[in-house]
Amino acid sequence: MTEGTPTGSLRIAVIGTNYLGANTAAGMAEFGFDVIGVEIDEHRLKLLNDGKAPLYEPGLDPLLKKHVDSGRLRFTKDYREVADWADVYFICVGTPQQEGSDAADLGQVNSVVDMLAPLLTRPCLVVGRSTVPVGTSKLVEQRFHSESPAGIGVEIAWQPEFLREAHGVDDTLHPDRLVFGVQSAEAEATLRQVFAIPIAEGCPVVVCNLPTAELVKGGANAFLATKISFINALSEMADATGADVTQLADALGFDKRIGRGMLNAGPGYGGGCLPKDLRAFMARAGELGVEEVITLLREVDDINYRRRARVVDVTHELLGAEWVGRNVTVLGAAFKAGTDDVRDSPALDIAGRIQLHGATVTVYDPEAMDNARRVRPTLRYADSAVEACADAHLILHLTEWPEFRALDPVALKEIVATPVILDARLLLDAASWRAAGWKYRAPGKA
Ligand code: UDX
């Protein structure tokens, strides 16, 4: 089959079908391939075979449904169904932070090798997409070569993904770049065949060795985290001088070398990727003896967590230095808008800290309520933003959902105890809140 005509000839297995794997499996089916996803969690498996995503991700349900219905995509828990069926195996399992350490936990990657390696009897390509410490792919390769009946016929490649939650489908179908960490022209050709459609659309391809491919992902996330902490450091400067950090970001961002992306000051970055990937990157740098990297990135991490403390401090100040007997409304629980993911969410962390100080905290989020309740069961939850604001002494705007920007400050003033709002995301229209009689505060804004 030639480049640009992917349909049919390659069979693709996607191992691990949570966020990354579900997007990858649906995307590969959309590219025209027959795909089987391997998922060991029964609940997730059932959802996926019904064409439903295991998490809230705009556009993913329809894509899964389309290809489950077309018969091009199905999911199994049995590795034997994919072993020797697929030509390409994508490893898409999670690599969370290890308990008690900054390093990545490679348990899920290792168990994929445990399950798959003994079943591979014919040559194939195993492609890692999981975010791993540099050097992992070589360890994975050694294990496949020694534990698979196919031996060195199992070739390893690494192809990092850069999916952003809430944009996972688009980032899968229309990536801004493809990185192929490969060891042979055949592996490169296979990956070019898999990604023929985005390549034909003009997506640039970087072909490199395995460690480069592994480092790209950690490097990209470390850089993005650094950008966010940089603007948040400038936000502290702005507070100390009366400058406006949003205007600073706009002015910096017009410089093409800098760019405006990831320069929104706020409560800092969270989620299931940037924080843990940054730490895993530092941990690996430490293992490799490159201490300078740790110094820089440790500061990035520290600035980030200082943001949360800063929001709590300003909250205390706005509550008149009292905690007990104060009602605080937290608008947002997800780590960012467009997702129900609350992993390392600044909003929930701040809500928890304020509650620990003794205030009564009521949270509302349009999508993340179930996850928030599970993680922080002792917080109060409301069914709507307006309900959450009733009798509040202070409202905190912590996740940038559009519905919070649409709140009517005039109507809301009637139901709160005191009209005070802390816009930690710096996205509300300060003038209209002030005009409606609110005390409006946004760290980093004059
Ligand atoms: C990130 C990377 O962007 C993606 O390439 C990688 O594959 C996974 O990690 P994601 O975790 O979905 O994606 O979130 P992202 O949109 O990057 O935001 C991360 C965090 O930074 C969020 O908490 C967000 O609110 C915060 N953020 C983002 C800012 O505080 N300011 C910004 O300007 C941008």
Q: Where are the domains of the chain?
A: 11-208, 218-302, 307-441
Nearest to 141 by CA among 150, 191, 329: 150
**Residue type for 375, please?**
V
Q: Please tell me the class of the 218-302 domain.
A: mainly alpha
251: three-class secondary structure by DSSP? helix
Atom of ligand 1 nearest to the CA of 161: 7
Instruction: Give the residue, out of 24, 223, 269, 404, with the most ligand 1 atoms within 8 A of its beta carbon, to mutate for a pocket test.
Output: 269
Q: Which residues contact 71 (CB under 8 A, 6 or more apart)?
A: none
Residue nearest to atom 33 of ligand 1 (CA): 262
CA–CA distance, 231 with 258 (Å, rounded to integer) = 12
- Helix H segments across 185-267? 185-194, 196-200, 210-241, 245-253
**Residue type for 174, please?**
H
Q: Which residues contact 375 (CB under 8 A, 6 or more apart)?
A: 342, 348
Instruction: Please report, for residues 145, 218, 295, 411, 445, the alpha-carbon distance to residue 437 in angstroms, rounded to integers and kept in the order given.
Output: 69, 46, 45, 11, 18
- Helix H segments across 267-418? 274-287, 291-318, 346-357, 369-375, 385-389, 402-405, 409-413
The pLDDT value recorded for residue 173 is 98
Q: How far is the centre of ligand 1, averaged over its atoms, from the C-alpha of 97 (Å)?
A: 17
Express each pLDDT in 74-123 by its tens digit.
999 999 999 989 999 999 999 999 999 999 999 999 999 999 999 999 99
Atom of ligand 1 nearest to the CA of 228: 31
Pocket of ligand 1 contains residue 148 by CB under 6 Å: no
Pocket of ligand 1 contains residue 230 by CB under 6 Å: no
Beta bridge partners of 395: 329, 421
pTM: 0.94
Residues annotated within a binding site for NAD(+): 44, 95, 131, 165, 276, 343
**Residue type for 308, please?**
R
**Residue type for 355, please?**
Q
Pocket of ligand 1 contains residue 271 by CB under 6 Å: yes
372: three-class secondary structure by DSSP? helix
Nearest to 402 by CA among 441, 362, 367, 353: 367
Contact of 183 with 210, CB cutoff 8 Å: yes
Q: How far is the centre of ligand 1, averaged over its atoms, from the C-alpha of 62 (Å)?
A: 24
Q: How far is the centre of ligand 1, averaged over its atoms, from the C-alpha of 274 (Å)?
A: 7
- Helix H segments across 87-209? 107-116, 136-147, 168-173, 185-194, 196-200
Residues annotated within a binding site for substrate: 162-165, 217, 270, 336
Q: Which amino acids are annotated catalytic?
A: 273
Pocket of ligand 1 contains residue 335 by CB under 6 Å: yes
35: three-class secondary structure by DSSP? strand
Residue nearest to atom 25 of ligand 1 (CA): 336
The burial class, CB within 10 Å (0-12 / 13-18 / 19+), for 43 is exposed
Express each pLDDT in 245-302 by its tens digit.
999 999 999 999 999 999 999 999 999 999 999 999 999 999 999 988 889 999 999 9
Instruction: Give the residue, out of 162, 228, 343, with the most ligand 1 atoms within 8 A of its beta carbon, to mutate for a pocket test.
Output: 228
Q: Which residues of the chain have pLDDT under 70?
A: 1-8
Hey, do 218-302 and 307-441 end up sharing a CATH topology, with the first three levels equal? Answer: no
The pLDDT value recorded for residue 3 is 42
Nearest to 443 by CA among 302, 317, 258: 317
Q: How many residues does the chain have?
A: 446
The CATH fold assigned to 11-208 is Rossmann fold (3.40.50)
DSSP 66-119: HHHHHTSEEEES-HHHHTTT-SEEEE-----BPTTSSSB--HHHHHHHHHHGGG
CATH number assigned to the domain covering 307-441? 3.40.50.720
